[in-house]
Each structure stands twice: as C-alpha cells, then as structure tokens.
Amino acid sequence: MSEDAGSDELESIAIAVHSLVGLPTTIRSLNRNGLRLEKGKILDRDYTGPVLEEVLRTGKTIRGVPKEGTYLGRNVAVSPIFSEDGKVIAAIGIVDLLSVLEMQEIIRTVVNNSHAVVFLWKNEEKWPSEFVSENVVRFGYTIEDFISGRVLYGDIIHPDDLKRVKDSLEDHIRRGDVDFNIEYRIFTKVGDLHWVNERTFIQRNPDGEVTHLQGLVLDITERKKSEEALRKSLETQKMLRTIINNSQAVAFLWENKENLPTIYVSENVTQFGYKVEDFTSGKIPYKSIIHRDDIDSVIEILNRNITEGQDSFDVEYRIFTGDGKMLWVDEKAFIQRDNDGKATHFQGLVVDITERKEAQKMLEIQRKLGTELSSTWNFQTMLNLVLDSCLQIHGLDAGFIYLKDELLDQINLVADRGISPEFREKVSRYKADSLEARQILIGKPIYSLEFYSDTMVDAVKKEGIKAIAIIPLKYRGEIVGSLNFASSTLDKIPWSIRTFLESTALQVVNYVAPVCVQAEL
C-alpha cells in the first residue's frame, strides 16, 4: 500500500476489516479517495470524509462525532496507517464500536426501566416472539417464557379482544401502513387482567412481505380504571340531573351573602317560570322572589339554625313566579360550612306545596263554615257565609247562589259576590226551559263556559270570566238550586277546587234547603 493507493488496492483491506467488525467501514489513501462499506456491500468507490482527512493531516487516531458528511452525528473511530519509515500513507475508520455498545446499553437500560415493554414478533399465528425486553416482568412473565415459545403472545390476549386485534393488524397491512395503534386486554402470568396500549411497527422484506412486527406494549390499566370511574361518575351525575330536572323539587345552591346569590339551580326551575340564567347571572337574586311578608321570618329561621350549629332545617314560605303568580313552597335547606365552621353556602330543595296549602286551607274553610252555619237560622246570613267562605280560595273571583222557584217555574239568583250590576241583571233568573236551567236540573257539575247560551257570550266576555264552576244543590233527591263560581285568572277550575266546591255543596245544602223549605211553608 502506498500514499497513492486507489479503491482497487484498498478493497481487500477494507473488506477484511468490515467482515471482522460488522460495522460501517471507510478507507482512503493520502492522495486518493477510497471506499465506504456497509452491511457487506461497497456503497462508494470514491469516498472521503472529514475525519479521514483530519487523521491524514494530523497522524493521530480520532474518536468523535463528525459535524458534516455521511456520518454526521454518529460516533466514529478513525486511525492512521503508517509506512515503514513512519509516514502517514492512509486512514481507515469504523463507526465507533464502543460508542455503539454504550448506546445499546443506554437504550436497554432506558427500555427496561420504562413502562413500555418492547416485543419483536414473527408475523405468524399467535405472534411468536423473537425478542422481548426485560421489563416484561411487569406482566409476571420472563424473557424465556416468550423466546422459548412456551408462551405465544396471542395466547395472553383476552379472547373477546383477539379477533379485533387480528382484524386491525390485517387491515393495516392490507392498506400498506407502516404502523398502527390499538388498545386491548391481556392476562398476566397470575391471571390478572390488564389493559394495554400497543404501538406496532410493521416490518417488510424487500419483496414487501410482512415478516416481523415490532411492538411497544404499555400498561394502561390505571388510566382505564380512571376513565371508567369518570364515566360512571358522569353517568351518575347525568342520572341525578335527570331525576332532579324531572322531579318537583328544584335544587339551589346559594352563597351566604346579601340577597342569597345563586351559584347553581336545576333546570326544572322553569316550573316557577324562570330560566337557570335568571338566577346564576345575578339578574334575579333569590331573595327578591320571596313574598315580602315572609322574608323576615325566612332570614330569622336561617340565622337561628346557623347560630345553633344545625346542619339542616325546613321552612315554608311564599314566592312569586316569573309571571307574577304566588306559590307556597317548602324548602329543605342544608348548611355548608368551611373548616372554621363558618356558614358559606346553603343547598336547598324547593318544592311547590301550593296545592297542599290550598287543601289545608279548604279543609279549614269547610270546618269553620260548618260551625258558623250550624249557629244561625238566618237565611241571608247563611248565603253570605257560603259565598264569603268559598271566595277565600285563590282563583275564585265571583260567586252566585241560585235557588229553584217552583211557583214561577224558574231558578233565581238569591246571593252574589264580585259581579257587575249589568251582569247581575242578565243572570238574575233562568227560566225552566232555558239552556242554563236545563243543565242545572240535570244534577251534574259543569266546568265549561258552554253552560251559557249564545245570547250570553258577549256579556261573559265583557265580565272577564275565563272559567266557571256550576255545582247543583241536591236535597232529598231533588235539585233545589246551584252554587256558581267564576274566575277571571284561571283558564280552568283545578281539580282540587272542584273537589272542594262539590263537597261544600253537599255540606251547605243540608243547612240552606231546610231553611228555604220552612220559609215556603
């Protein structure tokens, strides 16, 4: 070899070194470019590189990382070749074996201490393993379990997931993909079930056939548990929200500040005629919808329970709906305190109890009416008591009492409240053959404006009547008159009021009819 040796002269030396170390090899003489070999093949017959040139210039062995050229960024080792008289005549280099081994050790250490287990599988039935990283012990297995073939990777995949994994692999191979990602369950060596995420790289030979699969298998069991717990939590929240929003109870969370600002309110607040945003935006403070006659007592009860260290309390009060109607509500309130015991919030379940309150009121009215009727024989006083009592019911604005006049063969108005003189004149009597009288004499309650004949339509409309209740008075099997009530605010008479009026009619007729009969006698 001389300082002018070319590729042909250097080839035998280069091949010998390359075969020996199995690493990329380069060589050149002092005055001519040389060779580059990789994987048993000569890739370049006119090669030179910056480190080769530096070694020829300095005559010293260099281990380093080129900043340019073919091996940019890779550790290389290049040594000079001397002539017999000590002159540098050539240089030969390889990728630094020591650095490669060190890098391999670093990579192995990183892999084996990571959460991802590395596999190299053959593309065969159930994927036998050619390589598996040491951290496979995370799943209870040893390297030998897989490398020996005692355990095939397909056998540890959950049977319910295996077909999906196969189909996914085949689909990606068919599409020509180089990698894919999938999640499934595997069994550990002791039989525990773990969720894993697999990132697989598909390896093909020069003919495009898939020979191997390189997989990174990451245990995601804890993440799946968290996702499942979150899913169940969200489902529970959704279920509770659905239950609340379809219940009669409206849920509130108020801050313990002036006017009780609302942090949260359930969607079913619409039953009170409001939207969620009305309260949560601060547009409507909750305190502002409480009846002014009840505010002081509500605040007093609230403060008393806070002072006494109570956790919850009940209170009944009136509120106004979005369209101005008044409702009775029952509030079950829970007091929330901070670590110092200071009340910070109130959680309330507010239920409309207007019907219950009205029912209690109706029972009290009937009890009192019965007592008062039994203590008088004055006919007009009785009639006045009946009207005054019934008109205490919210929604009833006018009342009429009719009694049958056998002599004139008609039904006469004998007492009334809440109607104009003009309307009174039009409804003061019904002839026996009139539509109104015929309906009364049938003996069944009527709750329709069709009770009135066509000639009365304009008068009823002018009077502002929107709903009526006609309750026949039956005594000893005969119709003796009727209790008539009207509303200018209700679109129809509620069932609770209907029940009250019908039972009141049964109560009243036993006092009024005997007095009426005695007067006729």
pLDDT digits (tens, 9 = 90+) for 346-404: 998 999 998 888 888 899 999 999 999 989 888 899 999 999 999 999 899 999 999 99
The sign of the torsion formed by the CA atoms of 292, 297, 298, 302 equals positive
Closest CA to 410 of 482, 342, 488: 482
Give the chain's residues under pLDDT 70: 96-114, 230, 233-247, 516-521
- Taking alpha carbons only, the member of 74, 10, 69 closest to residue 45 is 10
Rounded to whole angstroms, the Cα distance separating 59 from 52 reads 10
Quick one: how far is CA 394 from the chain centroid? 40
Q: What is the DSSP string of 66-77?
A: -SSSTTTTS-EE
What domains, with CATH codes, occur in the chain? Answer: 7-101 (3.30.450.20), 114-223 (3.30.450.20), 249-353 (3.30.450.20), 376-520 (3.30.450.40)
Eight-class DSSP state of 208: S
Closest CA to 27 of 65, 77, 64, 74: 77
CA–CA distance, 69 with 2 (Å, rounded to integer): 25
The alpha carbon dihedral of 74, 77, 83, 87 has a sign of positive
Angle at 19 between CA 18 and CA 24, to 5 degrees: 30
Overall residue count recorded for the chain in this entry: 521
d(CA 519, CA 414): 14
Number of Cβ within 10 Å of residue 284's Cβ equals 17
- Reference 93, options 174, 176, 181, 28; nearest CA is 28
The backbone region for 31, taken as left when phi is positive above 0, alpha when psi lies in -120 to 50, beta otherwise, is alpha
As given in the structure block, the two tokens for residue 113 are: 């201490």
Q: What is the secondary structure of 213-264 as a DSSP string?
A: EEEEEEE-HHHHHHHHHHHHHHHHHHHHHHHHHTSSEEEEEEESSTT--EEE
Structural tokens at position 97: 């074996």
Report pLDDT for 331. 92
Alpha-carbon distance values, 41 to 362, 438, 470 (Å): 106, 118, 111
* Dihedral pair phi/psi, residue 312, rounded to 5°: -155, 165
Residue 76: the pLDDT is: 87
What distance in Å separates the CA atoms of residue 342 and residue 11, rounded to the nearest whole number?
90
pLDDT of residue 230: 67
Q: Distance between CA 346 and CA 343 in Å, rounded?
A: 8
H or E element, residue 486: strand 478-487
User: How many whole angstroms separate alpha carbon 286 and alpha carbon 98?
Assistant: 77
User: How far is it, in rounded angstroms, from Cα 515 to Cα 521?
Assistant: 10
The confidence score (pLDDT) of residue 54 equals 94
Instruction: Give the position of tokens 């260290």.
Output: 309
Q: Residue 229 is encoded by which pair of tokens?
A: 């717990």
For residues 117 and 110, what is the distance between their CA atoms, to the nearest angstrom? 11
Q: Is-above-0.85 flag for pTM? A: no
433-464 burial, b if ≥16 CB within 10 A, otherwise e? ebbbbebbeeeebbbebebbeeebeebbeebe
| CA-to-CA dists, residue 318 to 199, 267, 276, 299, 354, angstroms | 64, 20, 20, 13, 9
